[in-house]
Amino acid sequence: MKKILVLCTGNSARSQLAQGYLQYFAGDRAEVLSAGVNPKGVNPLAVQVMAEDGIDISHHTSNHADEYVHIPFDYVITVCDNAREQCPFFPTVGERIHQSFLDPGHTAPADRPGEDALTSFRRVRDLIKTYSQEFIASRLGEAVPQ
């Protein structure tokens, strides 16, 4: 079984979404954890938009990356630039991967003026879902069917 860690700054949104999708698509072929370099708690909008897509992350917790430095991960995926820059040293990481996503909890990007928080979360969720499905297919074989 592969071990995957997803990191972002607050472990409140992007890494939570990615953890949910990566675990869903990997099924029992991987254990997926998430953490942050400055944990803030799981954002309720992250829970809501994942529930809209049939994935329950309400049981997820927000953890600090330092809690996992002893685990031999096959993959550590950073999903924001800040986490990549502040990522602690994982001595047993097989592969470090960076795929940055905009923070859905902050102001809408300039090309989407007036976008509300829920719409932003849904947009980022959909990007992370596509990335997660492609990641699992390329690293573990075909993703679990939806």
Q: Is the distance from CB of 97 to CB of 78 less than 8 angstroms?
A: yes
Helix (H) or strand (E) holding 45: helix 44-52
Which residue out of 18, 47, 77, 80 is catalytically annotated? 80
| 8 flagged as catalytic | yes
- 35 forms beta bridges with 7
| 102 flagged as catalytic | no
| 87 flagged as catalytic | yes
Other CB atoms closer than 10 Å to residue 26's CB: what's the count? 22
Which residue out of 6, 7, 8, 65 is catalytically annotated? 8
Which residue out of 32, 50, 76, 87 is catalytically annotated? 87
Please provide the DSSP assignment of 76-118 as one string: EEE-SHHHHHHPPP-TT-SEEEE-----TTSPPPTTSTT--HH
Which amino acids are annotated catalytic? 8, 80, 87
